[in-house]
Structure formats: C-alpha cells, structure tokens
Chain A
Amino acid sequence: MYLKVQLPWNVIIPAENLDAKGLMLQRSIIVRLMENFATRKATKDLGYFLAVTTLESIGEGRVRQHTGDVLFPVVFSCITFKLFRGEILEGVVHKVLKHGVFLRCGPVENIYLSYLKMPDYRYVPGENPVFLSDKLSKIEKEVVIRFIVIGTKWLEVEREFQALVSLEGDYLGPISQSKLYKEAEKLNFDAAIRENKTSVALVGRDNHGRVVLT
C-alpha cells in the first residue's frame, strides 16, 4: 500500500556549501535531502522511499565539531510503499519457474507465488512455460495477477523486501487485460497527439467510456 508519511531527518551540509545567502542554503538543504532520500532507498518500518512531497520545516543548524559541517533537523512529508500481510494487490508476472512464479508490484521485484498457493494450476513446461488451470486460465509472463500477501521479509543488506503471496481466496488470480478495459474489441479509435507533441498515441474509448491507449 502507498503511504504518505511525515518524517524527521537530519540533513548535513558540508562547510563548502555554506557561504551562500539564505535561499540558496534552503535549496542546498532540499537537494541534499532528496539525494539522501534516494540513496536510503527503503527502511523496514516505512517501506520503499518514493518521493519527497513537501518540506514542512527546517530547524536551526548545529555546527558539528571536528568536521565543520552543519546539521539541520528537517521535517518533511514523503510517499512510501510497503507490503502488508493480508493485503490484496495486483502485480505482473516476470518469471515462471517449475515451482512457482515471480511477480513484480511497484518497486518490489521479488514477490514469490508458489505452486502450492495456486490451487488448480499446473505447470506446463516449454519455451514459454506457463501455469494452466482446469478452466484454461493461464499464468505466464506479463499476466496481471491479483494476490494476497501472506508474508514479507526485509533484507537489510540489499535494503529491499521480499514477499510470499497466495491465490487462495475468492476473486484472486489472473486478471485479464480485457477486464481492465472491458470489451476491448468494440473500440472507436482516434489518433491523439500527446501533450508534449513529440509522440502520437492511438486513443479510444470502450463501451464503458474508459480511455484505452494502444
């Protein structure tokens, strides 16, 4: 789930960047904060760090002995992404193996769906291996799957999460792309020029008025 979190942080500005006027100082604090934020990548409690949204406050700077840097305590808001046990999410299959598939959801690449948690699905080997159900529903690369999270693990060294998910439950499993855009066959296509005027997109509306891009 995506979260909006307010966080306190200490931003350290090296002495060389300090001889500027007030506004420039604030700018270097913001730049430094965003750099630190991107480097940190994720924490166990808050999940993956996506983007800083607002800077709430900058406190008084404190000079650090020995280095001459100045430390500014700041409070800011940001968006993070964290997987919760019991949560239902949608992800995309990116690897199919004999005993399960790996899914990608947002910034998380290592989401594992074991064959034990795919009731009614059987592995079908081949150049493009798939899992096939009795009702001929297919789980293969690039398919969107709705799953429930049964466990998560934080890897300190890589600073990332892994998750174990399952299809055991109602309304879980592959979601066909045509369900996201219902009755895709009956589209009216128009060519539209995207706002930045450097590319053309084919745009249509399906029967439910949803915009479909190809």
Chain B
Amino acid sequence: MSGEEEENAAELKIGDVALILEHKYEQLQQMSEDPLNQVSQVFEKSLQYVKRFSRYKNPDAVRQVREILSRYQLAEFELCVLGNLCPETVEEAIAMVPSIKTKGRAHDDEAIEKMLNDLSLIKKFE
C-alpha cells in the first residue's frame, strides 16, 4: 500500500476528515436553509461515515493522537491506520499494520504497547 500514493497526496485520519467535513457543512448551513441539497452524495455519505467512525470526538483529542503517534517514527499511512482502528493490544496493532514490525526500524513490542496505552489514555480523558 505504501508504494501506491501520489507524490502530492497526504493521508488523513478519519478524525481529521470529520473536523474538515463538519466545518464545511457548517459553512454551508450558514449560506443556505437546506445545506444537504447543496452537497454531493459523495460528501453526504462521507460525512455520515466519518462522524460515525471518528473515535475521538473533540478536535483537541484528534490533535493529541497525531502528536503521540508522530513521536514513534511511523510512516504517514501507518499513523492513519492505527489512529483509525485504535487497536487495543500489540498483536492487534501488528495485524492491522504489519509494516511496523517488518521494516528496518523494528519497533519492539514495548514501544508499541506504550503507544497504544497513550492512545487509550486520550480516549479516557477526552
């Protein structure tokens, strides 16, 4: 997966997208009575999806998640998948993103576990 990205494309977590799309939707609400009429089906379905699957409900939490994950030398897409799926155990994290184990950086289990703990703390105190 990591080799297929466009050169000028960056991956986004569902939480980030939720903030952006909700903001857009609010802008549209201010401009017209019936914002859903103005947006494409693609936008509407995506907005529903990101609102439902965004695991962290407030913008600060989303930002903190990004901060924490960026401390661990992860590729952008690894960061996104971990942030999106929120694995609870080290085995689950490796199953979701096998490359965190196989690449040369060799994150050991302890580091991965610490990272997952930090993530779940954010959720607790959100």
- Quick check: is A66 within 8 A (CB to CB) of the other chain? no
Contact in complex: B20, A3 (CB < 8 Å): no
Q: Which of A41, A171, A208 makes the CB contact (< 8 A) with B95?
A: A171
The answer on a CB contact under 8 Å between B92 and A79 is no
C-alpha spacing A210/B126, complex, angstroms = 7
A38 to B57, CA, bound (A): 27
**What count of chain B residues pass the 8 Å CB interface test?**
43
Write the chain B residue with the least CB distance to A209: B124
Contact: B42 with A49, CB < 8 Å? yes
Main SS at interface, chain B: helix
Binds B, one of A16-24, A85-93, A124-132, A185-193: A85-93
Residue contact A90 to B85, C-beta cutoff 8 Å: yes
Pairwise interchain contact B20-A79, C-beta atoms closer than 8 A = yes
Residue positions of A touching B, CB distance < 8 A = 1-7, 38, 41-42, 45-46, 48-51, 53, 79-81, 84-90, 104-107, 109, 146, 169-171, 180, 208-211
Give the A-binding residues of B (Cβ under 8 A): 1, 4-6, 8-14, 16-17, 20-21, 24, 39-43, 45-46, 49-50, 53, 55, 57, 77, 80-81, 84-85, 87, 91-92, 95-96, 120, 123-126
